[in-house]
Amino acid sequence: MRKQTTLDEFIIQRQKDFAFASGDLTRLLRDIGLAAKIISREVNKAGLANISGGAGVMNSSGEKVQKLDMLADDMLISCLQNSGEVCGIASEENKDFVKIKPLGQHEGQYVVIFDPLDGSSNIDVSVTIGTIFGIYRRVTKSGPAQLEDFLQKGTEMVAAGYVVYGSSTMLVYTTGNGVNGFTLDPSIGEFCLSHPDIRIPEDGEVYSTNQGHYNKYPREVKAFIDHCVDKSMSLRYIGTMVADVHRNLLKGGIFLYPPTKTAPSGKLRLLYECNPLAFIIEQAGGRATNGKGRILEMEPKELHERTPVYIGSKNMVEKAEVYLNLVLEEI
């Protein structure tokens, strides 16, 4: 029987791939893995433990917060605080970032941004949801974290990943040297390497978008969707960005959330959702754009900035860009 490689073992083996191989990032990634195990356990018993449903509050973006949103947010913050490797944390659920005090004389050199539970509207109906995270080295030299530590381009990320909680729990991450996936084995409580060196197909037969918003989309976006329909592509939309992107990463496809008349800047968050997933998709050979340029090269102006996004298989995103760059009269 072939020996399974656990997430902890893999991270340690690949530590030399990190730009700063001091062990700090290694420990940080392992702490995120621990938080993901606990969140997975809670997700799987949500209906039995009175932790499903709304929490009766709104998050920083004016959206209803679910009980599991709060639990996942608290768990990630707790694990990251205990690691001693971070000086600041920013979450989609909180208006401002959280400064982390040093543990003893050891001052954390990283900041972490995350969406604790992407797709939380799907929680109560047991549809796939997920956690998204990105890690940066701080740009300030010492002391408490500052806003500029978080407002970095996606190109400056040192690691990014996500966890999907579905028929199985899977963690996918990159440190800029390829993408690897790990499936949680509940019998031993460990993430085990199941998808080494993931490469996204250059083409696909799936497009993922909220087709119900079609009439709200710009004309050039409608033209691209019409192209997908004319080519008999399959529409697959889960309503959880990380789940749709995960499927397309493995099978090929494109996910798009364009601007609309009511959300001209798009709906999805640059820091918490688009940058980490763009980093992963690019590392797997795919492409991610906001319709005007590369997602990872966008200069963030605020923590909760939104952006349109078109992400997935390289050839499909490039085809979308052709339509997005056409003069309207030529469509």
Model confidence over 68-95: pLDDT tens digits?
A: 888 889 999 988 888 788 999 999 988 9
Q: How many domains, in total, are found in the chain?
A: 2
Kindly report the CATH number assigned to the domain that includes residue 264.
3.40.190.80
| Res 178: pLDDT | 94
Kindly report the CATH number assigned to the domain that includes residue 147.
3.30.540.10
Under 8 Å between Cβ of 254 and 311: yes
Q: 135 and 84 in one domain? A: yes
Q: 190 and 266 in one domain? A: no
Tokens of 189: 């409580």
Model confidence over 3-30: pLDDT tens digits?
A: 789 998 998 888 777 666 567 888 888 8
Residue 328 burial (10 A CB sphere; 0-12, 13-18, 19+): exposed
Q: 184 and 109 in one domain? A: yes
| Res 21: pLDDT | 53
- The verdict on residue 200 lying in a domain is no
Q: Per residue of the chain (331 residues), give pLDDT as tens.
A: 567 899 989 988 887 776 665 678 888 888 999 999 999 988 877 554 454 444 445 455 555 566 788 888 999 998 888 878 899 999 998 899 999 988 777 788 999 999 999 987 787 787 899 999 999 999 998 888 999 999 999 999 999 999 999 889 999 999 999 999 999 999 999 999 999 999 999 999 999 999 999 999 999 999 999 999 999 999 999 999 999 999 999 999 999 999 998 899 999 999 999 999 999 999 999 999 999 999 999 999 999 999 999 999 999 999 999 999 875 444 4
End of a domain among 134, 162, 195?
195
End of a domain among 168, 195, 222?
195
| Res 331: pLDDT | 42
Q: 63 and 41 in one domain? A: yes
- The verdict on residue 179 lying in a domain is yes
Query: Residue 105's domain spans which residues?
Result: 7-195
Give the angle 82-88-91 at the CA atoms, nearest 5°.
Answer: 95
Q: 248 and 223 in one domain? A: yes
Q: 55 and 20 in one domain? A: yes
Q: 102 and 148 in one domain? A: yes
| Res 64: pLDDT | 54
Q: 240 and 187 in one domain? A: no
CA neighbor of 198 nearest in space, from 121, 294, 283, 89? 283
Under 8 Å between Cβ of 135 and 147: no
SS3 288: strand
Q: 292 and 246 in one domain? A: yes
